[in-house]
């Protein structure tokens, strides 16, 4: 089927199928699931960032009423349970038996009849620590004679690579303009509304387990547990019920993912662990923290020649997600012709919670560096930052465009995205407003940022099954669960479009490994392109089966049939048709007699079963777009107020515009807060100083302006519907966009933004160091 | 995040609450709106043996105007203050401050007495009490005691209330005609505890400042009342120079600490700047006719 023919259901902003239950508080999360005889676990965590565990006394805890078991790393090691299975990242100790390497690392686990009893028990476990030297920052890790973070690692640089092309040195020699800078981006984390949680229930029938877990990848958890517990996959059933946000933080490989299933088997009782918010701050993957030293070379007219960048990422105590470095490297060149490029990446170990994928997973930082430097170039040559971007964009006629790094940008019109944002934001009007404000001594700034986002490039494939039900509806089974991405709505739209069925007649199940044999999961903005591609193809296979069965019922040839409005009919002959319901009853017959009376029977000559399963493998699709933000800075207090935010966003074919708008707006919030609010502050001893929402600041609706989103649609040639991922495009350019705006606002004072987040205190200090606000130094009058 | 074991009492009257407090004293914690205590309990940062829940004590929830004083029962919810239109005339500084406390959900549960008794030096209500020179009535086995604002706050989260006493009433003086007021603060986000806040009021009488009060949040262990500034303001003309000098005195008088959200230097700067802004705004309001006839602004 050609794209032009699909116009009815795909692209409609239909209401989210999942909303009614969420709005009524009827979502069902791991914390809502209880089974008889269930025990509750509390993980005792290290208060030290680096220490040897000399001994653990558990007797007092074990003696408390309600406490069932206390397990230490030593006891686990005796059972051979030492490290997590290797899947996506590096293996992590489940419970460190000898040495702890970050505050929050599991040291023991207490299992009890209730959470209260387990908490009481955890308070009675006595651990004897011998503190060891702590390395709590990139600078400390790289210092001469720095202590080693990991005893067995030769260096605190765990990963190192240099990627590039062209002749960077020659380009810098020939350049008219060179700008250079050092940038620091703080550590932040995803902070899903629902913390992590897992419930493992022994299943005597299979000799294995059923596991409910808030995860982005149930099939991967199944594989990991099968390897870890030495069970066949059929004996491990993993269910991701409703998941309250993930943003990368609920991918596989947490110690608790293995510990709790192990305990359930060891005790032969259901065991549940629910992470609390204080634990979440120290035991769920964090992200973002990088230091960059970058040089950019260009011609006088703004033509980019080269970027030479070196960066260091704080990986935490285990470099479990080295691919974060790659995403920074590959995202940096962005939507521009960049003839020469060199990027040296270093993954640095520190005694902190490891970093992992967090919305953007390395991409926002790469984009941040490039877009900050393009602005610096514009300033250096005195050309409008929009114009500098125009002069360097890869054009639409060049698509598909393979970059010198070897990645292929499949489709898109980058100049159009920028022009659209300029128009929607009212760029000219804001520049006038800015000039007027400056004449009044007020500081308004406008920030631009263009970006590309590789979507769907991670993970080998996705799977889907489509089944025609006896009532004529269709059920879609997918391996990609939703943690807020609206899969129940958008997958249904794709299936309904493909099968010519009203969208209400499609239901989506993407939660349970027992319902579909293979699956990969939801991460890296892969669902819109790949998971719905699998849905599309599964529906194609279902259509073929429907035609086979209908052909027998109608005594026609399958190739003469068509699917129209819930019927299968002979082409052009509406009278010769069977409804989906008739087909569903016949094709799924369970009796030789009509059931209910009069229902169609399985016709002779065909086999039952009206379903299809498909797997989608394809290449990464590149979404793109441009952001504009407008800020006003109060030079007296250093406070930044966002006045406006506009986005042009192109993720190919829109499956559901309002869902995409929501994704983009939420993504912008995550990005803006990296600039203005969020920073996990650790002291030199590796202690997290702001481990509550009183002190760690997330953005709320009242901190954000209306985020205007304009959609562009350049379909991907790599997916059946033309859709590309939309999960991270809101976040990636927002960091540079807002930082550019702040610097633009304070350009008359020459303030340089080098460090995120830009807190009021830091910005006030920068303003003061730049000589302060001359007009206002003596008065209390504020910028309004 | 589950509290440790405690015994729970829910008295129905003030007398009953006082009796329980007399019995358990140091071992007891009082639960008012729970906006601070419940998180502390859930994080096991406090573990009282006994919790005395005042939420069913009806005789502590009231708002009334007495002779020259607004009297607020300690269990009055912050939202009730916010919605009491008559307070716009009787105590506009309180009205302006209460809108800056957290978010509506917090003000629905949070109580006036709870905020005063908790004595967080970053909170708005202690600063209002301090700037207005109000008083706090406490009840214990020995009866009622009235503590002046200046003697009430001792240091961080510590007040002059004895272990066997509870806060029963907050008393705020009604400002005279010709008064202006302002509460200025800088918070990282809407609804956060401010980094620094300034509660200010002044009265204009024939072109000169009569009464004046200033209290600063976030720059010490208690709301800081700056007497040297107030003295400088009294009798002076409300000019920019005078306000600048008064704000300079504030910067001299305080000794803030650095913490996660701000350096000491930044706090000192904010205290001066916000004092200036608060005095300018208070003077503008006073000049426009003061508290008796002016609706609350910005």
Written as one string, the DSSP assignment of A505-528 is: GEEEE-SBTTT-S----S-TT-II
Closest among A234, A163, A248, A224 to A203, alpha carbons compared: A234
Mutate to test the interface with A, among B106, B262, B278 (most CBs of A within 10 A): B262
- Judge whether A324 and A362 are in contact, CB under 8 Å: yes
DSSP A392-448: TBPPGGG-SEE-TTS-EE-S--HHHHHHHHHHHHTHHHHHHHHHHHHHTT-EEEEEE
Question: What is the arrangement of strands in the sheet containing B208-217, beginning at the earlier edge strand?
Answer: B179-186, B196-205, B208-217, B224-225
Is a pLDDT exceeding 70 seen at residue A373? yes
Check A760 against B195: CB less than 8 A apart.
Answer: yes
Which pLDDT belongs to residue A781?
A: 45
Residues in contact with A270: Cβ distance below 8 Å, sequence separation at least 6, in sequence order? A35, A36, A37, A38, A39, A199, A200, A201, A202, A264
Which pLDDT belongs to residue B1?
A: 59
Check A116 against B2: CB less than 8 A apart.
Answer: yes
Residue A79 C-alpha, separation from nearest chain B C-alpha, in angstroms = 30
Which pLDDT belongs to residue A261?
A: 97
Which phi-psi region, left, alpha or beta, contains residue B218 (left: φ > 0; alpha: ψ -120 to 50)? left
Q: What is the percent of chain A where pLDDT is above 70?
A: 96
State pLDDT tens for residues A209-260.
999 999 999 999 999 999 999 999 999 999 999 999 999 999 878 999 999 9
How many beta carbons lie within 10 A of that of residue B219, not counting itself?
Answer: 27
- Judge whether A500 and A462 are in contact, CB under 8 Å: no
- Judge whether B95 and B88 are in contact, CB under 8 Å: yes
Give the mean model confidence (pLDDT) for residues A282-311.
97
Considering only the beta carbons, identify the residue of A115, A700, A703 that sits closest to B2.
Answer: A115
Q: How far apart are CA A158 and CA A144, in angstroms?
A: 16
3-state secondary structure of A22: helix
Q: How far apart are CA A169 and CA A779, in angstroms?
A: 50
- Residues forming a β-bridge with A512: A239
Residue B21 C-alpha, separation from nearest chain A C-alpha, in angstroms = 27
Per this entry, what is the length of chain B?
298
Helix (H) or strand (E) holding A476: strand A474-478
Is a pLDDT exceeding 80 seen at residue A2? no
Q: How confident is the model at residue A91 (pLDDT cuts 50, 70, 90)?
A: confident
Q: How far apart are CA A278 and CA A474, in angstroms?
A: 43
Whether the upstream peptide bond of residue A596 has omega within 30° of 0, thus cis, is yes
Q: How confident is the model at residue A512 (pLDDT cuts 50, 70, 90)?
A: very high
Residue A127 C-alpha, separation from nearest chain B C-alpha, in angstroms = 19
Question: Chain-wide mean pLDDT for chain A?
Answer: 94
Helix (H) or strand (E) holding A383: none
Which pLDDT belongs to residue B64?
A: 97
Q: Which residues in A lie closer than 8 A to residue B262 (C-beta atoms)?
A: 760-761
Closest among A553, A531, A542, A574 to A469, alpha carbons compared: A542
| ipTM, interface predicted TM-score of the complex | 0.92
CA angle A413/A417/A420 to nearest 5° reads 135
Check A761 against B262: CB less than 8 A apart.
Answer: yes
DSSP A110-154: EEESSHHHHHHHHHH-EEEEEE-----SHHHHHSTTPPPSSTT-S
- A593 vs A84: which has the higher pLDDT: A84
Closest among A480, A476, A588, A479 to A539, alpha carbons compared: A476
Closest among A552, A563, A594, A589 to A501, alpha carbons compared: A563
Give the mean model confidence (pLDDT) for residues A510-524.
95
Considering only the beta carbons, identify the residue of B188, B266, B277 that sits closest to A782.
Answer: B277
Backbone angles phi, psi at A184, to 5 degrees: -125, 130
Which pLDDT belongs to residue A81?
A: 81
Q: How confident is the model at residue A90 (pLDDT cuts 50, 70, 90)?
A: low
Q: By CA distance, what is A758's nearest residue in B? A: B188
Q: By CA distance, what is A118's nearest residue in B? A: B2
Q: CA B64 → CA A69, A650, B123, B134, distances in Å?
A: 57, 60, 23, 15
Which pLDDT belongs to residue A782?
A: 46
How many beta carbons lie within 10 A of that of residue A35, not counting itself?
Answer: 12
Give the mean model confidence (pLDDT) for residues A611-624.
97
Question: Angle between the A323-331 and A363-381 helix axes, to the nearest 10 degrees?
Answer: 30
Tokens of B181: 């007021």
- Judge whether B273 and A768 are in contact, CB under 8 Å: no
- Judge whether B149 and B132 are in contact, CB under 8 Å: yes
State pLDDT tens for residues A453-476.
999 998 899 999 999 999 999 999
Question: Angle between the B264-287 and A760-769 helix axes, to the nearest 10 degrees?
Answer: 90
Helix (H) or strand (E) holding A584: helix A580-587
DSSP H helices in chain B: 14-24, 37-42, 78-83, 87-90, 92-98, 104-109, 112-118, 124-132, 149-152, 227-233, 240-253, 264-287
Q: How far apart are CA A439 and CA A774, in angstroms?
A: 13
Is a pLDDT exceeding 80 seen at residue A85? no
Residue A780 C-alpha, separation from nearest chain B C-alpha, in angstroms = 5
Q: What is the pTM of this model?
A: 0.95
The number of C-beta contacts closer than 8 angstroms across A and B is 72
3-state secondary structure of B109: helix
Q: How far apart are CA A68 and CA A113, in angstroms?
A: 7
Backbone angles phi, psi at A628, to 5 degrees: -135, 135
Tokens of B104: 């509506």
Residue B139 C-alpha, separation from nearest chain A C-alpha, in angstroms = 32
Q: By CA distance, what is A760's nearest residue in B? A: B188
Question: Angle between the A580-587 and A532-554 helix axes, to the nearest 10 degrees?
Answer: 80
Q: How far apart are CA A476 and CA A490, in angstroms?
A: 11
Instruction: Name the interface residues of A facing B (CB cutoff 8 Å).
Output: 115-116, 119-120, 123, 276-278, 636-639, 677, 681, 689-690, 692, 694-695, 697, 699-700, 702-703, 759-761, 764-765, 778-782
Check B191 against A700: CB less than 8 A apart.
Answer: yes
Considering only the beta carbons, identify the residue of A120, A123, A700 that sits closest to B190.
Answer: A700
Q: What is the percent of chain A where pLDDT is above 90?
A: 89
- Judge whether A489 and A659 are in contact, CB under 8 Å: yes
3-state secondary structure of B267: helix
- Residues forming a β-bridge with A235: none
Q: By CA distance, what is A279's nearest residue in B? A: B1
Which pLDDT belongs to residue A594?
A: 65
Q: By CA distance, what is A637's nearest residue in B? A: B270
Q: How far apart are CA A43 and CA A260, in angstroms?
A: 10
Residue A767 C-alpha, separation from nearest chain B C-alpha, in angstroms = 12
- Buried/exposed A529-566: b ≥16 CB within 10 Å, e otherwise: bbbbbbbbbbbbbbbebbbbbbbbbbebebeebbbeeb
Tokens of A361: 């997973």
Which pLDDT belongs to residue A603?
A: 87
Check B44 against A123: CB less than 8 A apart.
Answer: yes
Burial class for B255, CB neighbours closer than 10 Å (0-12, 13-18, 19+): exposed
DSSP B148-207: EHHHHEEETTEES--TT-EEEEEEEEPPPTTEEEEEEEE-SSTTSPPSEEEEEEEEEETT
Helix (H) or strand (E) holding A75: helix A73-78
Residue A676 C-alpha, separation from nearest chain B C-alpha, in angstroms = 9
Considering only the beta carbons, identify the residue of A276, A639, A690 that sits closest to B1.
Answer: A276
A86: Cα within 13 Å, side-chain hemisphere: 2
Q: Write out residues in chain B with pLDDT < 70, as ranges.
A: 1, 289-298
How many beta carbons lie within 10 A of that of residue A139, not counting itself?
Answer: 14
Which pLDDT belongs to residue B296?
A: 39
Considering only the beta carbons, identify the residue of A115, A123, A689 that sits closest to B260.
Answer: A689
Closest among A288, A355, A351, A267 to A315, alpha carbons compared: A355
Q: How confident is the model at residue A3 (pLDDT cuts 50, 70, 90)?
A: very low
Residues in contact with A707: Cβ distance below 8 Å, sequence separation at least 6, in sequence order? A645, A646, A647, A664, A665, A668, A669
Give the mean model confidence (pLDDT) for residues A63-85.
90
Torsion of CA A476, A479, A483, A486, to 10 degrees: -30
Which pLDDT belongs to residue B272?
A: 97
Q: By CA distance, what is A783's nearest residue in B? A: B277
């Amino acid at each position: 089927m050609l794209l032009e023919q699909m116009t009815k259901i795909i692209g409609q902003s239909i209401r989210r199928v999942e909303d009614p239950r969420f709005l009524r508080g009827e979502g069902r999360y791991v914390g809502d699931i209880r089974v008889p005889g269930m025990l509750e676990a509390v993980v005792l965590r290290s208060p030290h960032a680096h220490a040897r565990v000399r001994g653990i006394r558990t007797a007092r805890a074990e003696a408390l009423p309600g406490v069932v078991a206390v397990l230490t790393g030593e006891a686990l090691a005796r059972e051979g349970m030492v490290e997590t299975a290797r899947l996506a990242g590096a293996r992590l100790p489940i419970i460190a038996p000898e040495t702890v390497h970050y505050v929050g690392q599991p040291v023991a686990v207490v299992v009890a009849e209730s959470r209260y009893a387990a908490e009481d028990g955890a308070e009675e476990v006595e651990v004897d620590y011998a503190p060891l030297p702590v390395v709590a920052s990139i600078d400390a890790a790289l210092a001469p004679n720095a202590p080693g973070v990991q005893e067995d690692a030769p260096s605190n640089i765990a990963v190192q690579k240099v990627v590039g092309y062209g002749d960077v040195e020659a380009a810098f020699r020939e350049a008219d303009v060179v700008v250079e800078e050092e940038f620091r981006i703080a550590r932040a984390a995803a902070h899903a509304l629902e913390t992590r949680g897992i419930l493992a229930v022994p299943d005597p029938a299979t000799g294995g387990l059923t596991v409910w877990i808030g995860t982005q990848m149930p099939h991967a958890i199944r594989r990991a547990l099968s390897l870890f517990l030495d069970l066949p996959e059929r004996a491990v059933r993993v269910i991701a019920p409703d998941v309250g946000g993930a943003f990368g933080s609920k991918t596989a490989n947490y110690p608790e993912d293995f510990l709790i299933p192990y305990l359930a088997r060891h005790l032969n009782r259901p065991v549940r662990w629910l992470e609390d918010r204080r634990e979440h701050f120290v035991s769920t993957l964090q992200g973002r923290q990088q230091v960059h030293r970058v040089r950019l070379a260009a011609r006088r007219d703004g033509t980019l020649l080269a970027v030479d960048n070196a960066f260091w990422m704080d990986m935490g105590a285990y470099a479990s997600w080295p691919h974060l470095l790659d995403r920074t490297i590959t995202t940096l060149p962005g939507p521009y012709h960049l003839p020469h490029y060199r990027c040296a990446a270093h993954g640095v170990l520190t005694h902190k919670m490891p970093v992992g994928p967090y919305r953007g997973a390395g991409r926002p930082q790469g984009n941040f560096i490039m877009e900050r430097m393009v602005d610096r170039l514009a300033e250096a040559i005195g050309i409008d930052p929009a114009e500098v971007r125009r002069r360097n964009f890869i054009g639409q006629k060049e698509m598909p465009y393979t970059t010198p790094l070897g990645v292929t940008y499949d489709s898109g019109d980058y100049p159009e995205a920028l022009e659209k944002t300029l128009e929607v934001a009212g760029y000219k009007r804001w520049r006038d407003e800015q000039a007027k404000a400056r004449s009044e001594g007020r500081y308004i700034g406008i920030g631009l940022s263009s970006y590309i986002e590789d979507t769907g490039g991670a993970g080998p494939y996705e799977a889907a099954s489509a089944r025609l039900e006896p009532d004529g509806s269709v059920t879609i089974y997918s391996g990609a669960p939703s943690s807020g991405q609206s899969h129940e709505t958008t997958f249904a739209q794709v299936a309904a479009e493909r099968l010519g069925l009203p969208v209400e007649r499609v239901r989506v199940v993407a939660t349970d490994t027992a319902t579909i044999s293979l699956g990969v999961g939801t991460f890296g903005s892969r669902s819109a392109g790949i998971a719905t591609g699998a849905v599309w193809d599964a529906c194609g296979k279902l259509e073929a089966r429907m035609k086979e069965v209908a052909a027998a019922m109608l005594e026609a040839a399958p190739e003469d049939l068509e699917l129209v409005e819930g019927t299968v009919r002979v082409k052009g002959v509406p009278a010769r048709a069977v409804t989906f319901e008739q087909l569903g009853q016949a094709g799924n017959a369970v009796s030789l007699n009509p059931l209910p009376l009069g229902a169609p029977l399985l016709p002779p000559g065909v086999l039952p079963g009206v379903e299809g399963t498909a797997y989608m493998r394809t290449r990464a699709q590149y979404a793109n777009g441009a952001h504009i933000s407008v800020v006003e800075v109060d030079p007296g207090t250093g406070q930044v107020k966002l006045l406006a935010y506009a986005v042009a966003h192109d993720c190919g074919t829109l499956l559901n515009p309002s869902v995409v708008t929501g994704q983009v707006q939420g993504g912008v919030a995550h990005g803006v807060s990296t600039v203005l609010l969020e920073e996990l502050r650790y002291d030199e001893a590796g202690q997290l100083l702001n481990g509550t929402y009183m002190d760690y600041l997330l953005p709320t609706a009242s901190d954000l302006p209306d985020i205007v989103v304009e959609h562009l649609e350049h379909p991907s040639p790599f997916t059946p519907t033309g859709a590309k991922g939309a999960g991270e495009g809101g976040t990636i350019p927002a960091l540079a966009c807002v930082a550019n705006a702040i610097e633009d606002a304070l350009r008359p004072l020459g303030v340089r933004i080098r460090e995120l987040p830009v807190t009021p205190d830091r910005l006030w200090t920068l303003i003061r160091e730049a000589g302060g606000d001359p007009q206002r130094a003596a008065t209390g009058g504020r910028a309004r | 995040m589950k509290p440790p074991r405690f015994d729970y009492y829910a008295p129905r009257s003030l007398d009953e609450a006082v009796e329980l407090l007399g019995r358990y004293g140091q071992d007891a914690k009082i639960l008012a709106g729970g906006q601070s205590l419940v998180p502390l309990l859930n994080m096991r940062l406090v573990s009282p043996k006994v919790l005395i829940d005042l939420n069913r004590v009806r005789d502590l929830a009231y708002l009334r105007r007495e002779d020259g004083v607004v009297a607020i029962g300690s269990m009055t919810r912050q939202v009730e203050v916010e919605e009491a239109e008559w307070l716009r005339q009787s105590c506009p500084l309180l009205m302006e401050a209460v809108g800056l406390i957290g978010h509506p959900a917090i003000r629905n549960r949070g109580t006036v007495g709870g905020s005063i008794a908790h004595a967080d030096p970053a909170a708005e209500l202690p600063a209002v009490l301090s700037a207005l020179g109000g008083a706090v009535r406490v009840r214990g086995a020995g009866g009622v005691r009235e503590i002046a604002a200046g003697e009430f706050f001792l240091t961080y989260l510590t007040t002059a209330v004895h272990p066997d006493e509870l806060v029963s009433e907050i008393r705020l003086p009604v400002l005279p005609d010709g008064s202006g007021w302002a509460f200025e603060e800088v918070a990282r986000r809407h609804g956060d505890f401010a980094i620094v806040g300034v509660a200010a009021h002044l009265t204009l009488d024939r072109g000169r400042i009569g009464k004046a009060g200033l209290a600063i949040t976030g720059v010490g262990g208690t709301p800081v009342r700056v007497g040297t500034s107030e003295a400088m303001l009294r009798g002076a003309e409300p000019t920019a120079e005078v306000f600048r000098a008064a704000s300079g005195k504030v910067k001299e008088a305080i000794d803030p600490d650095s913490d996660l959200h701000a350096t000491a230097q930044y706090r000192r700067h904010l205290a001066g700047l916000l004092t200036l802004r608060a005095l300018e705004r208070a003077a503008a309001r006073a000049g426009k006719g003061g508290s008796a006839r002016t609706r609350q602004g910005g």
